[in-house]
Structure 1
Amino acid sequence: MNLLLAFIPISLLLEYVFHAPPLWVFGASTVAIIPLADWLRKATEQVAARAGQTIGGLLNVTFGNLAELIIAIFVLLAGNTAVVKAQITGSIIGNGLLGLGLAILIGSFGRSRQKFSGANAGQLNSMLFLVVVALLLPALFDLTERLPAFEAGSAAARNNLDEYLSLGVAVVLILVYGLNLVYTLVTHKDVFALEEEEHQGTLWPTWKAAAVLLGATAIIALESEMLSGALDASSAALGLSPFFLGIIVLAVVGNFAEYIAGSYFARQGKIGLAINIAIGATIQVALFTAPLLVIISYLIGKPMNLVFSSPLELVAIVAVALIVTTVTKDGEATWFEGVMLIAVYLLLALAFYFVTPSEKGAQLNTPPAQVVFLQTG
C-alpha cells in the first residue's frame, strides 16, 4: 500500500510541471488518495487503542468520510451538484453493500460464522430506515408538486420549495445524528459498547497520530482539488458521464478508508467493529455529510437540494436498508452473506452504468429510457 504513495508526487508533477492530459491527472490523483485513506485508518486505530473501540470506530468513520466530504466540496465548487448527489448515493450503497460485504467475506476465511451484538446492529438498522425516509421524502415532495392537482407555480417556484425543504431536512438530520451520538456514546453507552481487546504492537505517541490525521487530510484535500478539476475532461475521454464516475469511482475512492478498516478489523476477529464502521459510515453520509453539503452549497453560492431525481438511486437506497437489515438482524454473519451484499452492489453498478444518460440526452433533458432509444434507434 505504501508504494502507492509515490503517486502523490507523480500527480503533482503531472498537474503543475508537465501539464499532462486531465485523464492522467485524474488517474494519478485517484490512486494517490487510496494509501492516504489507509494512513487515516492506521492513525484512527492508534486513537482507538487509547479511547476504546466504540470511539475509535466513530473516528474511523468520521475521518474516512472526511476524504469524501473534501472531494464533494471541490466538485460543488465546480458547480457539479448532480455529481455530488451521485457521490452521496454511491457512498451509501458502497459502504452498506461493498464495504460490509468485503468485511464479512474477508473476516469469514477460516471461520464458519462471526457473531456480533444484536442490539448494536438493531440500532444501526433503525437508523438506516430513517435514512430511507429522509432521502425519499424530498423526491416524493418534488413529484407531488409536479402533479396536475398540486402544480400551482412555475418550475422556479418548485425549485425554491425543493431547496427550502432540503434545508429543513438537512437541519433535522444533523440534529438527529448528534442525538444518536449522545444516545450511543453517553446515555446508553453500556448497551452499545464494543468488547475491548489489548492492542497488538507499539502504540504511536499522541502527537504522531494527530500529525498523520492532519497531514493525510491536507494532502487528500490537494489531491481532491486536482481530481475534481479533471473530472469532466476525464469522463469525456473515458466515454462515461460525470454522474457514473461520481456514483462509482469518486464514492469508492472517497470511502476507501472504511473499506480497508472494516476488512482489516473483520480479519482480526472484530466483526462488531467492522459492522460499526461499514453501516456507521453509511448512516453518517446520509444523516451528516449529505445535509452538511446542502448547507455548505448555499454558503458557497452553489445551491444543492436533496432531491434524487433518478428512481434507480432511490431503489438502491431502499435496497441497502432492506438487505443489510436482513443480513445483520440475527447477530451473526457467514461468508455467503458477504457474497450476497457484494453481488447486489455489482448489480446496481451495472444498472447505473447502462442507464447513465448520454451527453446529448442530458442536454435535451430526456429520461433514461428515451436516451437509450435515441442511441439505438
Structure 2
Amino acid sequence: MKKYLSPGLLVLFFVLSAIGHFAHWSATLQFILSSIAVIFVAGFLGKATENVAHYAGQRLGGFLNATFGNAAELIIGILLVKEGLFDMVKASITGSIIGNLLLVLGLSLFAGGLKHKVQRYNVSLAGMNGSLMIVAIIALFVPAVFLQTHVLQENDRTSLSLVVAGILIVAYLLWLVFSMITHKDYLADVTETNNQKDSHEHEEPIWSKGRSILYLVIATVMVAFVSEWLVHTLDTFTAKYGLSELFVGAFVVAIVGNAAEHSAAIMLAMKNKIGAAVEIAVGSSLQIALFVAPVLVFVSHLFSRPMDIVFTVIELAAIGVSVFIAKSITQDGQTNWYEGLLLIAVYCILGVSFYLV
C-alpha cells in the first residue's frame, strides 16, 4: 500500500472527516476534509481492485473496479434522494457519465498513449459498448421529449419512469450475462494473454487474493461513511458560495465520487492494460446510466419521494455529446494520446459551460 499512498494519511483524513462531521465544524471545512478523505479511500479502493484484477483478469477486474467505484456514487445518490435533492441527484448522474467518458477515459488514453504510442483492445467490445451508450441516451431522451412536449400527461411521469428504469436494469443484467458468460471469449481483450505473461514476469500483486478481497470490502465501507459525511455539507456549501446544484452535482460531486476510477484506470493504461482501463471508464458510465440511475428511481419510492427519470435539456445535451465523441474515438479498438486529449478538451468545454449556468 505504500506504493500508492500513505496509510497514515488515509487514516488521518478519514478520522478528521469523522470528527468534523460529528463535531459540526464549518460546512466548508467538512466539505474539504470529506472530499480529501474520499479521494484517499478511493485510491485504496482502486489499488485493492487492481490486485483483484490480477487474479480475475482484465475485464472482470475492470468490472469490479467500476462496480466498487460506483458504490460511492450509489450511496451518495441514495442519501441525496432521501433528502429530496432530486436535481442534484440527476446532476450527479450526469456528471458521473460525462466524467467517466471524457475525463477518466481521456486521462487514461492520454497517459497510456504517451508511454505506449498506440494501444489496442477488442474492437467487438468497443462496438458493443458504443451500442449500449446509444441505448442509454435513448432511454434518457425519450421520456424527456414525451413529457416536456406534453404528448403524455404529467401523472404518467412516475409510471413511465418506473417502466423505463425496469427495462434498463433488465438490459444491464442481461449484458453482464452476455459479456461475462455466454460471449466471454468473443469479448476477451486482445492483449490479455501478453499482459498476463508480462504481469507474472515483472509484476506481482502486493496482496494475496484473500487480503485483496478483504481490503476491497473495507474500502467500500469507508467510502460509504465519507460519502454520507460529504452529502451533509453540500446544501450549505452550495448556498454559501452561490454555486448551482447543477455544477456541484455534475462536476464537484462527480469528480470526488469518481476518484477510484481515475486512479485505477490511469495506472492500468500506463501499464499497457488499456482493455481494463476502457472497461473501467466506459463500463462505469454504462453502469451509472443503465443500473445506478434506474435503481435510484425505485429507491426513491421507498422514501415516499418518487423521483422521475426525466433529465433537463442541458443534462441531455452534455450526456449526448459525451457519448458521441467517446463512441467515435473508441469504436476502432485502438487509442493514442491525442484522442485522450480530445476527450479532455470536450470535458473542459462542458465544465466551463456548467459553471456559468
The one-letter code sitting in structure 2 at the alignment partner of 1:104 is L
Write the distance in 1 (CA, Å) between the matches of 2:120 and 2:59. Answer: 17
Write the distance in 1 (CA, Å) between the matches of 2:43 and 2:50. Answer: 11
Of residues 159, 169, 173, the one that matches 1:174 is 169
Q: Does 1:46 align with 2:41?
A: no
Q: Paired residue for 2:314?
A: 312
Write the distance in 1 (CA, Å) between the matches of 2:21 and 2:283. Answer: 35
Write the distance in 2 (CA, Å) between the matches of 1:317 and 1:97. Answer: 10
Aligned-residue identity in percent: 43
Of residues 181, 202, 221, the one that matches 1:186 is 181
Q: Does 1:266 align with 2:269?
A: yes
Q: Residues 296-335 of structure 1: matches in 2 within 5 Å?
A: 296-309=299-312, 311-335=313-337
Alpha-carbon contact 2:51-2:205 (below 8 Å) kept: no
Return 77-86 or 113-122, whichever deviates more: 113-122
Q: Paired residue for 2:232?
A: 229
Q: Paired residue for 2:73?
A: 68
Write the distance in 2 (CA, Å) between the matches of 1:111 and 1:220. Answer: 33
Alpha-carbon contact 1:297-1:304 (below 8 Å) kept: yes
Superposition TM-score, scaled by structure 2 size? 0.92
Q: Residues 29-178 of structure 1: matches in 2 within 5 Å?
A: 29-145=34-150, 150=151, 158=154, 160-178=155-173
Q: Residues 260-299 of structure 1: matches in 2 within 5 Å?
A: 260-299=263-302
Q: Paired residue for 1:26?
A: 31
The one-letter code sitting in structure 2 at the alignment partner of 1:331 is G
Alpha-carbon contact 1:105-1:335 (below 8 Å) kept: yes
Write the distance in 2 (CA, Å) between the matches of 1:169 and 1:313. Answer: 18
Write the distance in 1 (CA, Å) between the matches of 2:104 and 2:341. Answer: 11
The one-letter code sitting in structure 2 at the alignment partner of 1:255 is N
1:129-182 Cα offsets, whole Å, 9 max, x none, are 11110110111111122xxxx47xxxxx60x31111111001100000011111
Write the distance in 1 (CA, Å) between the matches of 2:346 and 2:329. Answer: 13
Q: Paired residue for 1:358?
A: none
Q: Paired residue for 1:365?
A: none
The one-letter code sitting in structure 1 at the alignment partner of 2:251 is I
The one-letter code sitting in structure 1 at the alignment partner of 2:37 is A
1:343-373 Cα offsets, whole Å, 9 max, x none, are 1011011111112xxxxxxxxxxxxxxxxxx
Write the distance in 1 (CA, Å) between the matches of 2:31 and 2:110. Answer: 30
Alpha-carbon contact 1:29-1:227 (below 8 Å) kept: yes
Alpha-carbon contact 1:78-1:229 (below 8 Å) kept: no
Write the distance in 2 (CA, Å) between the matches of 1:212 and 1:13. Answer: 23
Structure 2 residue ranges without an equivalent (≥5): none
Alpha-carbon contact 1:78-1:228 (below 8 Å) kept: no
Alpha-carbon contact 2:49-2:65 (below 8 Å) kept: yes
Of residues 7, 15, 26, the one that matches 1:9 is 15
Q: CA deviation at 1:203?
A: 5.0
Residue 186 of structure 2 aligns to a residue in which SS? helix
Write the distance in 2 (CA, Å) between the matches of 1:46 and 1:329. Answer: 28
Q: Paired residue for 1:351?
A: 353
Write the distance in 1 (CA, Å) between the matches of 2:160 and 2:78. Answer: 21
Return 293-302 or 83-92, whichever deviates more: 293-302
Write the distance in 1 (CA, Å) between the matches of 2:316 and 2:30. Answer: 32
